[in-house]
Amino acid sequence: MKCKICKSDTKVQFITKILNKYNVRYFHCQNCGFLQTEEPYWLEKAYKQPINDIDTGILQRNIEFARVTSVILYQYFEKTSPFLDYAGGYGIFIRLMRDIGFDFYWYDPFSENIFAKGFECSEEKNFEAITIFECFEHFANPLAEIEKIIDISPNIIFSTNLLPDPVPDINKWWYYTPEHGQHIAFYTMNTLKYITEKYSLNLISNGSYLHLFTIEDINQKKFRKILKKSRKYFNNTIKKSMSSRTLEDMHYIKSIIKQ
Ligand SMILES: [Zn+2]
């Protein structure tokens, strides 16, 4: 199997049982370090429920991402522009971002939108940046998916946990989660670098789980410094200068329900 990112040769890293049923090989790229499973034929079973039952971190993660994303958008992007949360799931993140004051919209063909009804993505909007959390590791065809996203906006804030070096054994890294079978692509910093070079974008990263592909020229050191102080920055600056859309959104939703 060739690497799905850089097309180099891979070696079988290990074999494990996915969904407690299928023996699956994991291939490690000898060039960029990307780790991928063999072609994932089990996905239909794995996605019977799009947001899986063992995801106890869902709320905590959304709150944390909302704070950190606010800091990034406020600092580096046109903060009054529309933004898109790609694969928005139930819409928790979009609601949180609108509550903070950012004009966020929702796109997800696979999940029911519960919390952000009325804020679906529309084609005429020009999105300043896209957020996409906990998705890259689900991609069966990463480059095709990434190209789709770049076509919407070349500024992408995303999360995925970088594969440690050396590659951990299957039972030594919680992120593999073979029991639900949805995590099938694991990136290294070199993999991300390869992708950004391919599409002429800049790569900024906190070095572990949060990354940016962007056309903006952002200083990596400063970026990490700001993220370290994100709680303070969020409470002292963003919360004081942005105005929440919660009430305004309620009136808007009321108006569309009446129609
Ligand atoms: Zn590779």
The 3-state DSSP class for residue 140 equals coil
Residue 154 falls in which region: left (phi positive, over 0), alpha (psi -120 to 50) or beta:
alpha
Which helix H or strand E contains 31, and what residues bound it?
none
Please state the separation of Cα 62 from the chain's center in Å.
Answer: 11
194 Cα: distance to centroid of ligand 1 (angstroms): 8
Ligand 1 center–CA 7 separation, angstroms: 6
Distance from the alpha carbon of residue 29 to the mean position of ligand 1, in angstroms: 5
| pLDDT tens digits along 131-186 | 999 999 999 999 999 999 999 999 999 999 999 999 999 999 999 999 989 999 99
The pairing of beta strand 82-86 with beta strand 202-205: unpaired
Q: Give residue-wise pLDDT tens across range 84-95.
A: 999 988 999 999
Q: Provide the token pair at 242.
A: 């942005």
Q: Which residues contact 15 (CB under 8 A, 6 or more apart)?
A: 23, 24, 25, 26
Taking the whole predicted model, whether its pTM rises above 0.85 is answered as: yes
C-alpha count within 13 angstroms, C-beta hemisphere, residue 62: 19
Domain boundaries, the chain: 57-162+188-258
Instruction: Calculate how far, in angstroms, residue 178's C-alpha sits from the geometric centre of ligand 1.
Output: 22
Looking at the chain, the number of H-run helices and the number of E-run strands are 9, 10
AA letter at 14: F
CA of 62 to the centre of ligand 1 (A): 30
C-alpha 201 to ligand 1 mean position (Å): 18
**Burial bucket for residue 177 (CB in 10 Å: 0-12, 13-18, 19+):** middle
Asked if pLDDT for residue 105 goes beyond 80, the answer is yes
26 C-alpha to ligand 1 centroid (Å)? 13
CB 157 within 8 A of CB 184: no
Segment holding 12, helix H or strand E: strand 10-18
Gap from CA of 4 to ligand 1 centroid (Å): 7
Per residue in 215-249, pLDDT tens?
A: 999 999 999 999 999 999 999 999 999 999 999 99
d(CA 141, CA 158): 17
pLDDT for res 122 = 81
- The CA-CA-CA angle for residues 63, 65, 68, to 5°, reads 110
Residue 96 C-alpha to ligand 1 middle, in angstroms?
A: 36
- Reported as type and span, the H/E element at residue 87 is none
> Binning pLDDT at 50, 70 and 90, where does residue 123 land?
confident
Asked if the model's pLDDT at residue 52 lies above 90, the reply is: no
Q: Is the dihedral of CA 154, 72, 247, 117 positive or negative?
A: positive
Q: Which CATH number fits domain 57-162+188-258: 1.10.1040.10, 2.30.42.10, 3.40.50.280, 3.40.50.150?
A: 3.40.50.150
Query: What is the pLDDT averaged over residues 44-50?
Result: 82
φ/ψ bin of 14: left (φ > 0), alpha (ψ from -120 to 50), beta (otherwise): beta
